Every structure is written in structure tokens, then in C-alpha cells.
Amino acid sequence: MDNASAPPQTTSCLVCGATRAEPRFVQRGYPVFRCTGCSLEFVAPIPSASELADYYNRAYTVPLERYAAAGHRNIARIADLERWCPSRGRLLEFGASYGHSLASARERGWDVAGVELSPTASEYARTHFGMPVFNCDLADAPLADGSFDAVIGWHVLEHVRNPKDQLQRLSRLLKPGGVLGLRVPNIESFGARAAGEWWPWMCPPAHLWFFSSATLPRLLRACGFEVLEVKTLRGDGNNLYQYALMAAGSRLNDLRLHLRRGADAPRRADGQGSDRAMMSKVPLPDAQGATASEAIRTVSPAQPSGLLQAWLRLLDRAQPITDALARGTRPLMEPLERRGWGDELLVYARRVTQSQ
């Protein structure tokens, strides 16, 4: 990527206000940059609302079966929220999907409401659970300022066109002292560092913003929140051993391409003809928890080389082995995942009261 494809210098960073960013790579046709001031990573330019609407209508699916099967996880997440809001009260979920998290919260005594852009998912929440889930953008939801004791957003903020606007709206919807819980992909995780552009959560245009344990709390403070807790978890990401194997294969392929650069330069001058060029056109899966080999295989118009096919077979065969290793070493790995290595970033914050 050359300087011509850099973000406009008049555009300031969402988090720190800096006007300079360095290019990282192009994924699925979308340039990804890193702010030189705070290291926030983001897609630029941000796709238009109509482009995103077309993408979600055409290519993005919300798997009902997977959400319905996550009952224990939903209960655990609501119970975790209650550490900061033990008296419960009124709860809003933005990005409520089919309403399963809200159903778990209601069973625990919360008065609930939700906002969801998917017509199918919001209709299901209303008809199946009897939930007041509004099918609209958060800015258009008929919700009164200062009417919620808590708000949750599980893997939503990375999807929106302007996270700062969303957080400022959520701050207004919360009562003074109300609690906000957010879960987003962690761009500083081991998986993100090792797999780079092939990290399964590096999937624009579904994901447009890539936060860290430094950038998200900083943005929250700018939007009127006091940060209460920041930690990382494995979430739905892969295990660390599988990520290490992915990284090793990617580095070896980079070396192979470097050594062949002279012979293949004319053929690859337009970005065609290599496994890496082919993979840059592959849409990564939007569903969390997909394997690396599934990501690479997804809807590719080109056929991978024999070498790449061998690598994919190796990844498939290694997955059960690395999963077993991860289970066996969980006491060792879990503390690392909670201290920055995990794919999922969890942040709790409280709306600052007027006296503060």
C-alpha cells in the first residue's frame, strides 16, 4: 500500500485525534490502518451506510442455532455484569440479536429492552421471547435518556460506522452511575499478533474497528465513562498453539515467496499468481470460532496451490491435537489469555455522575 491509499490527513483518529496513520495491509479489498498516535486499528475509508446494508443483506448471516445453544454462556455473562450492578434494574442490549442474552437477564430479575438492526433477529426476539427489541439504529430507538441502569454490547462496537457516536448515545441513555459492559475483539491478542491479516476476526467490512486494552478505555473516558475493569479472554477464538502453527506456516510462505520473487515478479506485478494474493481476496468468516482453514477456503474464485492445500490439511489435522494441548495446559494458558493474550477484550465502565 502506498501513500496514495492512506486515510485523508484531515481525518482525525477516533480515539486520540492524531491525523497520521500507517498502512498495515489490505484485507478483503479494504485497507486497514494503524494510528501512529494511539495504535487504534481501523478500516479506511469507512464503507457507506448503503454499502454496509448491502453487505449485511447479502453476505452476513446470524446463526440462530448457535445463539440458542449458548444458554450457559449467556447466563455467565449476565452474572458477571451483576458484579458491577448487583441491584439489577433496567437493562438495554444494543445488538440484541435473537434476544437470548436478554431472556437470560430477564430470568435473573432484570427489566430488559434491546436494539437490533436485523429484521429477522429482532422479530424473533419479539415473537418468541416477548421482548421489546427495536429494529432500528441505536440513534433512532425510542428510548429516554437516563432510563437504564446497565447497557451491554457483545461484539457490536467493532461493526458500527462511528463507535464514538454510539458510546455517547449510550452514556446519555444510562442513569448517572449506570454500568456499561462491552466485548470486542482484542487486536493485541496473541492470535491477532501471530496470524496478522489471517486472524479470523480481521474481517472487514463486518469489522471496521480493532480495539486494544489501551484504545477502548481511552475512548470510553472521552465519552463520559469511568473505566472499572479491563481484561482479556479466549472467547470464541482459537487456541494459542493453533495460532502459533498458523503463524509459522504464514512466515514460511512469506519466505518462499521472497525467494521466488525474481522469477515470479512479472507474473505477480498486478498482485495475481501467489497464494498470498489469492488469500487476500478470500472473505473470512463472520461467525466467531471458525478455523483458519475454513477462513481460507471460504468462497474463493481461485484454486489454492498444492502447497497451500497441504498447509490447510496440516491445519485441519493439527486442530484436535492443539485443542487437546490447550485443554491439558489450561491452568498455564488461561492466566496468559486473561492478561492480554486472549482474543476477546472485556471492558466495564460507569457513566460519570455530574459531581465527578
List Cβ neighbours of 267 (8 Å cut-off, separation of 6 or more): 273
**142: part of which helix (H) or strand (E)?**
none
Q: What is the pLDDT of residue 311?
A: 78
Domain ranges of the chain: 3-58, 64-237+340-351, 240-331
Name 32's bridge partners.
Answer: 25, 43
* The CATH fold of domain 64-237+340-351: Rossmann fold (3.40.50)
Q: What is the pLDDT of residue 190?
A: 92
Q: What is the pLDDT of residue 64?
A: 80
Choose among 343, 203, 197, 187: nearest CA to 284: 203
Q: Does domain 3-58 have CATH number 2.20.25?
A: yes
ω into 163 cis (within 30 of 0): no
Residue 31, all three cell numbers: 485497507
Q: How far is residue 157's CA from residue 17's CA, in Å, rounded to a whole number? A: 19
Q: Are strands 148-154 and 174-185 parallel, antiparallel or unpaired?
A: parallel
**Segments in the chain below pLDDT 50:** 1-5, 9-10, 265-303
The type of residue at 43 is V
